[in-house]
A = this chain, B = another copy of it.
Amino acid sequence: MLEDLKQEVYEANMQLPKLGLVTFTWGNVSGIDREKGLFVIKPSGVEYDQLKPEDLVVVNLKGEVVEGSMNPSSDTPTHTYLYNHFPKIGGIVHTHSPWAVSFAAAKMDIPAMNTTHADTFFGDVPAADALTKKEIEEDYEGNTGKTIVKTFEERGLDYEAVPAALVSQHGPFAWGPTPAKAVYNSKVLEVVAEEDFHTMQLTHQSSELPQYLLDKHYYRKHGANAYYGQNNAHSKDHATRS
């Protein structure tokens, strides 16, 4: 069942230790088949060097296990909530990557301070509100998804343009059109968190990017007029333009 997706999600999971994003088993990637309404996720607490594609668990959009002998990630209800409310995403990553966690613990956004950020995130990556006692006790993992979605709604953010969030006191979630792209976004988040930290120590003046630079870098890589890389319609134009 969903063997190709399992392989894809397996490979995305295995990128996490390679990119230095996880310690021990502290991370998980899922990927969804939107037509079937099923997603594939890492089993809970399994070491990366022992993980096999067939260990992955298939879950439906009610959060019920449909296939698999192992228990899915304990964060499965968060993934379920995000897939239901962000209908265009194809993969989700959760890690405890240390720089992103440091910002999450401080309940601070990761601000857009440089073009590395703008290449991937079209604005600040928000720190969603910490969960209340009631939210934690009633449905911790589900409400973790809920606080993310609520933050995007309240701030009027586009989850495709800002494909990540911090959950205050906890850590980062990232997503994207595919599991591999979600992992990529997860790494970018960690890199810019580290850079922002150092920039904020260097100066107390505002280092937020102006909107026009955000526009330039984000749309250089995304959308109809993108010209970065080999597969955009406008790459050739750009190459010979100047």
Nearest-neighbour CB distance to chain B for A93, whole angstroms, equals 15
Q: Is the CB of A98 closer than 8 A to any CB of chain B? A: yes
Q: Given A230-B46, A240-B64, do A98 and B195 touch, yes or no (CB 8 Å)? A: yes
**A96 contact set on B, CB distance < 8 A:** 115-116
With A and B bound together, what is the CA distance between A187 and B196 in angstroms? 20
Nearest-neighbour CB distance to chain B for A138, whole angstroms, equals 11
Binary contact readout A135-159 vs B (1 if CB under 8 angstroms, 0 otherwise):
0110111100000000000000000
Stoichiometry, copies per complex: 4
Q: Is the CB of A102 closer than 8 A to any CB of chain B? A: yes
Binary contact readout A187-200 vs B (1 if CB under 8 angstroms, 0 otherwise):
11001001111111
Q: Is the CB of B191 within 8 A of A197?
A: no
Task: Considering the complex, give the chain B residue whose CB is closest to the CB of A25.
Answer: B229
With A and B bound together, what is the CA distance between A65 and B210 in angstroms? 32
Q: Is the CB of B230 within 8 A of A170?
A: no
**A198 contact set on B, CB distance < 8 A:** 98-99, 102, 197
Binary contact readout A69-83 vs B (1 if CB under 8 angstroms, 0 otherwise):
011101011001000
B-contacting 9-mer, from A4-12, A29-37, A201-209: A201-209
Q: Is the CB of B235 within 8 A of A44?
A: yes
Could you list which residues of chain A lie within 8 angstroms of chain B, going by C-beta atoms? 23-24, 26, 43-46, 57, 62-65, 70-72, 74, 76-77, 80, 96, 98-99, 101-108, 113-116, 130-131, 133, 136-137, 139-142, 169-171, 184, 187-188, 191, 194-203, 205, 207, 209-210, 212-213, 216, 220, 227-230, 235-236, 238-242
17 pairs from A and B in contact (CB 8 Å cutoff): A64-B240, A70-B230, A71-B239, A74-B220, A74-B227, A74-B235, A98-B194, A102-B198, A102-B202, A103-B199, A105-B113, A105-B199, A108-B203, A136-B212, A136-B213, A139-B242, A169-B213
The 10 closest A-B pairs by CB, nearest first: A45-B229, A102-B198, A77-B242, A71-B235, A106-B202, A63-B242, A105-B199, A105-B114, A106-B203, A133-B212
> Given A77-B242, A106-B205, A197-B201, list of 9 further CB < 8 A pairs?
A63-B241, A63-B242, A70-B230, A98-B191, A107-B207, A116-B171, A137-B216, A142-B242, A169-B209
